[in-house]
Amino acid sequence: MLFFLLPKTMHTSFVGKRIIVGVTGSIAAFKVAGWVSTLAQEEAEVDVVMTESAKRFVTSLTFSSLSGRRVLTNMFSAEEEGTISHIGLSREADCIIVAPATAQTIARLTYGFADDLLTTTILAADIPVLICPAMNVKMYEHPATQKNIEIVKTLGYKVIEPECGNMACGDYGKGRLPDWHQVSEYLLKELSDGDLKGQNVLVTAGPTRERYDPARFISNRSSGKMGFAIARAAFRRGAEVTLVTGPTSLDWPAGVRVIPVVSAQQMYDAVMSEFSNSSVIIKAAAVSDFKSAEHHLEKIKKDDATLTIKLVPNPDILQALGARCDPKKQLLVGFAAESSDLEKQGRKKLEKKNLALIAVNNIASAQSGFEVDSNQLVLIDHNGVTELPHTSKIKAADMLWDYIVKNKLLKT
């Protein structure tokens, strides 16, 4: 029997969240204008607080146009007075992000200065504070800055490491503001209710490649999108996440430990060395069932009209896990790519591979399964069948986690 679970999840979204963006005086301030625009489009309420030196790089008009709200710059301005105070500002917000955070601002936060609206707001806040340092590499690596960063971490502020790269001043090194797709994951983590906190999650994703000569391999259409979405959603909800992935063109998800592999045997080895530390294991990878019996050292010539490759089976990683996992301490979840009889085929794999739960996707539909950005999952466990709605892969991943949490399938 099929029944429907309504898409209620709000776990990993900015909708309705109130975020203070503190902008300080660095050339990277222009990048944050794009972040504010994205947050506003994703229906967050963004209050931008600028320091005096930030206004030298980007005008407050830029931020107010993008956020659709007034920008706060001055603790004592007659215009701003009475409408909002530093106390009220942080009391009404869900999170503060300081980006870019200069060496000067980090030093002031280290010692609890309260000499402008931004530092005062942070000092008065009991909400999560994220700090994104951005500065010249020598300033970033200076022992004073490094010491200050260690101190602000002990104060409970989360520091997102800057990236390495070319800098506006011509230097090369660490100190660049990371891209929004990285930072947004940390911000969503701070905004989530952390219902996967304490879980060690192992996810597999993508295809495997089975080489048969130096130029060619057998593989499948998996893009890795579904498995990456499951890993991202778990990180946002507070889990420690390890992702074992076959070759994909996707950016590695922020905050997730990634183990790249190529062949099914390599995926097997990686999973076998990791699974005993995991409380949840989700196998969304499309593992090649077969590999060539021979690996030709030379490229096979196309002299003959036909080519016969003898295939031999790869290890079934999920089945091996089903035999080794401790169902009292570990939750084992499989995926199944099916084109017909979804429920029957899914249930068969659930039993055969000794799983607690299997997510079946209909790969006969153009909008589900391989490569596309959306999916429709049918969840089968020992209590019944639940059909999730067709949705984006990141929402489908969140719904899978919702199902696991609501049905108390977690073991720790």
- Choosing from 95, 132, 164, 169, the catalytic residue is 169
Residue with smaller CB distance to ligand PMT, 184 or 314: 314
> CA dihedral defined by 102, 103, 105, 106, rounded to 10 degrees?
120
Residue with smaller CB distance to ligand PMT, 96 or 287: 287
Q: Which of 24, 73, 120, 222 binds ligand PMT (CB under 6 A)?
A: 222
394-411 in b/e burial notation, b at 16+ Cβ within 10 A? bbbbbbbbbbbbeeeeee
Least gap, CB of 297 to ligand PMT (angstroms): 25
Spatial CB neighbours of 299, under 8 Å, sequence gap ≥ 6 = 213, 214, 215, 216
Residue with smaller CB distance to ligand PMT, 31 or 225: 225
Residue with smaller CB distance to ligand PMT, 39 or 226: 226
**Cβ contact 223:183 at 8 Å:** no
116-to-108, 155, 255, 263, 406 alpha-carbon distances in Å: 10, 19, 32, 56, 45
Using CB under 6 A as the binding rule, the residues of this chain from 371 to 390 that contact ligand PMT are 371
Segment interacting with ligand PMT (CB under 6 A) among 25-33, 120-128, 138-146, 219-227:
219-227
As a whole number of angstroms, the distance between CA 87 and CA 48 comes to 15
Least gap, CB of 231 to ligand PMT (angstroms): 12
Q: How far is CA 91 from the centre of its chain?
A: 28
As a whole number of angstroms, the distance between CA 234 and CA 224 comes to 16
226 binds ligand PMT (CB under 6 A): yes
- Residue labelled with tokens 């939750």: 331
**Cβ contact 243:274 at 8 Å:** no
Contact pattern from residue 265 through residue 284 relative to ligand PMT, giving x for each residue in contact according to CB under 6 A and a dash for the rest: ------------------xx
Q: Which of 157, 335, 401, 403 binds ligand PMT (CB under 6 A)?
A: 335
Q: How many residues bind ligand PMT (CB under 6 A)?
A: 26
201 binds ligand PMT (CB under 6 A): no
Q: Alpha helices of 155-200 — where are they, by DSSP H?
A: 180-191
Least gap, CB of 218 to ligand PMT (angstroms): 13
User: Nearest-CA neighbor of 284 among 359, 346, 338, 220?
Assistant: 359
Residue with smaller CB distance to ligand PMT, 296 or 348: 348
245 binds ligand PMT (CB under 6 A): no
- Residue labelled with tokens 């009292």: 328
Residue with smaller CB distance to ligand PMT, 73 or 208: 208
Token duo for residue 29: 């301030």
Q: Phi-psi bin for 165: left (phi > 0), alpha (psi -120 to 50), beta?
A: left
Q: Which of 71, 118, 132, 286 binds ligand PMT (CB under 6 A)?
A: 286
Instruction: Tell me whether residue 18 is exposed, middle or buried, using C-beta atoms within 10 angstroms of its C-beta: 0 to 12, 13 to 18, 19 or more.
Output: middle
H or E stretch at 396: helix 393-406
Least gap, CB of 353 to ligand PMT (angstroms): 6
Least gap, CB of 21 to ligand PMT (angstroms): 32
**Cβ contact 137:102 at 8 Å:** no
Size of the chain, expressed as the number of residues it contains: 412
128 binds ligand PMT (CB under 6 A): no
Segment interacting with ligand PMT (CB under 6 A) among 38-46, 84-92, 105-113, 220-228:
220-228
Residue with smaller CB distance to ligand PMT, 100 or 246: 246
Mapped onto helix, strand or coil, the DSSP state of residue 193 is coil
Segment interacting with ligand PMT (CB under 6 A) among 43-51, 83-91, 98-106, 367-375:
367-375
User: Is residue 169 among the annotated active site residues?
Assistant: yes
Least gap, CB of 336 to ligand PMT (angstroms): 4
**Cβ contact 279:329 at 8 Å:** yes
Q: Where are the beta strands (DSSP E) in 168-216?
A: 172-176, 200-205, 210-211
Segment interacting with ligand PMT (CB under 6 A) among 7-15, 113-121, 255-263, 286-294:
286-294
Contact pattern from residue 336 through residue 365 relative to ligand PMT, giving x for each residue in contact according to CB under 6 A and a dash for the rest: xx-----------x-----------x----
User: Nearest-CA neighbor of 68 among 87, 85, 46, 53?
Assistant: 46
224 binds ligand PMT (CB under 6 A): yes
**Cβ contact 121:90 at 8 Å:** yes
Residue with smaller CB distance to ligand PMT, 178 or 224: 224
Binding residues for ligand PMT, per CB under 6 A?
206, 222-226, 264, 283-287, 289, 314, 316-318, 334-337, 349, 361, 369-371
Question: Which residues are catalytically annotated?
Answer: 169
